[in-house]
Amino acid sequence: MKRSEGKRNEGHITLARALVTGAAGFLGGALARFLRDTHLAVDRFDCAYDQDANASPPQSVLDPAAVDSAVKNVDLVFHLAGILGTTALLSRNAEAIDINIKGTVNVLDACLCHRVHALFYPTKPNEWLNTYSITKKAAEGFIQMYARLYGLNARILRLFNVYGPGQRIYPVRKAVPVMVIQGLYSMDIEVYGNGEQPVFLTYVDDVVRNIALYTLDQKYDATIRDTGNSIQMSVNEMAGMIRRLTKSKAGIRHLPMRAGEDVGKIIEPLPGPTAAATTPIESGMSATVEHYAKLPPERLTQALKFYYGTAQ
């Protein structure tokens, strides 16, 4: 396929084809679907470390030739591939460094070589001292370096507490899906720490729309900005909402804070341009609970066995 020249129109770039790395993941899959709905051709780069990857065989950002081949025919790259985890990655440092840092550099080199119109990369708001946060911060720095020294047209957004239907329930423990499952089975909803930590819940559909619009807008650059919901709530309030929506008969149980999560380092939303979320939290959480309630029971019991060693 001949690569598009990328026409410019009223501050936006009109593109023909995009690549989504990590397209088998929660956010990558949602973004790929959104881009297709906007009539943009999308190439998937599914990775073995994305659960339920459906590529045959799965691809790896650690393979420079595979990355180069995937990038050479596209106009836009959304680099969402990565290995996730907070406490879980503390024993997998070398693997996380390879995938999250070296893999990102492979993507950057391919983007420069093939002169893609823009690269998008998601980062995170907190700067906890854990493997995932450190590797994301390093990758973020490489992208800004490539933008400043080599002229790569890049976009970086900090994503605040993305949730919604389809988020993996295991092996990476994410607060919303695990709490929903606990609520559906009338188990105590588990909260780490005192639960007063702030969260800025942002529905996945709002996030992917904001990512696409922001990346296509020519007035932005590689300066780090936010996308998220400006409405703050505590983890306790979130757990209470989930308990109510799942009609749970159990309570809320507080556990010691997990290793690698520094509650003393809470980062508030950045000032300046921030794409606003539009889905009310109550509506988004209701849709999320409904999604998990409709999953086959064996999917939920598998998650419970993973976390607790036995189904409830």
Angle at alpha carbon of residue 21, lines to 41 and 49, rounded to 5°: 140
> What digits encode the pLDDT tens for the residues 220-239?
888 888 887 777 899 999 99
273, pLDDT greater than 60: no
Count other C-beta atoms under 10 Å from residue 178's C-beta: 20
pTM of the model: 0.88
45: nearest Cα among 37, 55, 35, 36: 55
269, pLDDT greater than 70: no
Helix spans in 193-250 (H): 204-216, 235-245
Omega before 171 cis (within 30°)?
yes
| DSSP per residue, 150-194 | H---EEEEEE--EE-TT---SSS--HHHHHHHHHHTTPPEEEETT
Yes or no: say if 30 and 80 are a contact pair by the CB < 8 Å rule. no
**Mind listing the domains of the chain with CATH numbers?**
7-308 (3.40.50.720)
Q: What is the mean pLDDT of the chain?
A: 86
Gap between the Cα atoms of 138 and 272, Å rounded? 23
> What digits encode the pLDDT tens for the residues 294-304?
999 888 888 88
**What would the two tokens of residue 51 be?**
């659960």
13: nearest Cα among 136, 155, 137: 155
Of 41-45, 51-55, 92-96, 103-107, which one has max mean pLDDT?
103-107
Q: How many Å separate Cα 290 from the centre of its chain?
A: 21
Gap between the Cα atoms of 19 and 150, Å rounded? 21
